[in-house]
Amino acid sequence: MAKRKRRPLVRSASVHPGIVGPARPVPRHIARPPYVRNAGGEPGPARMSPVRSPTEIEAMRRAGAAAAEILLIAGQQVAPGVTTDAIDEVVHAEVLARGAYPSPLGYRTFPKSVCTSVNEVICHGIPDSRPLVAGDIVNIDVTVYLDGVHGDTSAMFCAGEVDAESRRLVSGTLRALQAAIAVVAPGVPVSEIGRAIEGVARPGGLGVVREFVGHGVGTDFHGNLQIPHYHDPRNATPLAEGMTFTIEPMLTLGSPQVELWSDGWTAVTADRSRTAQFEHTLVVTADGVEILTVTADGRCAHDLSAAPVPRARAG
């Protein structure tokens, strides 16, 4: 074998489809997003403008806070032996308890109330009967529909002790999201977001997934605005005050090439290397950005996997 300079990949290839239980019921009094009534859960063409009214932004603060609270609770469930379906059960109950609708449920053909993406699963994992194993990393992606708008946020959680490469992946992905949020302001081209993400990923030797992008979010779950996580210098669209969208970088230890399971949803790395994602819903303000997916007192699940502060070096 040729000498390889690369670090060995964590190629657990541990995730196989389990049994997906029935959709969980939603009481009649909970307001549903429009796509739930359409055949196949098809949202149809996005109609929303990229800019929200002050009233809509107020509603998005409430939806965002609810999503952030639920993500914190969901993350506390993560432990070896717990199935992703048990996480779905908790998320579903917490969403309903806040008078909200779990946006994934019945979106297109998605059958459950939250996305759970383990190890080599990049995104859109369907909660099922597979118990988490010590050493797994899992993304939980919570979206709620409340007061006519969506709040969309995700974070990584570790089941038991996790290897050093996976921890490096998780902290690098969080730092990439934070670097991207830091460049958001009126007049900044959308391409600066991907540039900031690559600025963290590339020196860390981490891949950036290109097939899935951040998106306009508000009255629509997925608006027309696209936020690539890679640097596309042609994307000069300027950000403007009142725009609401997600940034949700997916970084990989190996190749960022994507494959899809036959369920039509579960996206995995083609080389089965591990991958991580963090997501926030944001609004562009007059002089910068406000993160909408935080609790009323400013907490979020990202704080739990906060990047280790680099130690000051002598010299």
Which residues contact ligand MF3 by CB under 6 A?
Answer: 104, 107-108, 110, 115, 124, 141, 143, 152, 246, 248, 279
Q: And the tokens for 241?
A: 């005050």
Which residue number, 125 or 168, has a Cβ lying nearer to ligand MF3? Answer: 125
3-class DSSP assignment, residue 116: strand
Regarding 152 and contact with Co ion (CB under 5 A), the answer is: yes
What is the b/e burial string over 287-303, where b = at least 16 CB atoms within 10 angstroms of the residue's CB?
eebbbbbbbeeeebbbe
Helix (H) or strand (E) segment spanning residue 58: helix 54-77
Closer to Co ion by Cβ: residue 168 or 230:
230
Min dist CB 13 to ligand MF3, Å, is 23
Q: Which is nearer to Co ion, 78 or 213 (CB)?
A: 213
- The stretch among 27-35, 98-106, 133-141, 251-259 that binds Co ion (CB under 5 A) is 133-141
Least distance (Å) between residue 6 CB and ligand MF3: 30
CB 173 within 8 A of CB 277: yes
Q: Which is nearer to ligand MF3, 70 or 115 (CB)?
A: 115
The distance of closest approach from Cβ of residue 215 to ligand MF3 in the complex, given in angstroms and rounded to an integer, is 6
Residue 251 backbone phi and psi in degrees, to 5 = -110, 155
273 makes contact with Co ion (CB under 5 A): no
> Which of the ranges 66-74, 96-104, 186-194, 276-284 carries the binding residues for Co ion, by CB under 5 A?
276-284
Kind of pairing between the strands at 289-291 and 207-208: unpaired
What, of ligand MF3, Co ion, none, does residue 124 touch, CB below 5 to 8 Å by kind? ligand MF3
Task: Using the minimum distance from each CB to ligand MF3, give the nearer residue, 143 or 166.
Answer: 143
> Least separation, in Å, of the C-beta of 30 and Co ion?
20
Say which residues have a Cβ less than 8 Å from residue 219's Cβ, sequence separation at least 6.
48, 56, 148, 149, 150
For residue 312, the minimal CB distance to ligand MF3 (Å) is 36
- Which residue type occupies 278? F
* Sheet strand arrangement including 280-284: 244-247, 280-284, 289-291
Rounded CA gap, 154 and 121, in Å?
14
User: Residue 70 Cβ, how far from Co ion at the closest point, in Å?
Assistant: 12
141 interacts with Co ion by CB under 5 A: yes
Q: CB under 5 to 8 A by kind: which of ligand MF3, Co ion, none does 89 bind?
A: none
Q: Which residues have a Cβ under 8 Å from the Cβ of 217 and sit 6 or more positions away? A: 150, 151, 152, 223, 244, 245, 246, 281
Binding site for Co ion (CB under 5 A): 141, 152, 154, 246, 279
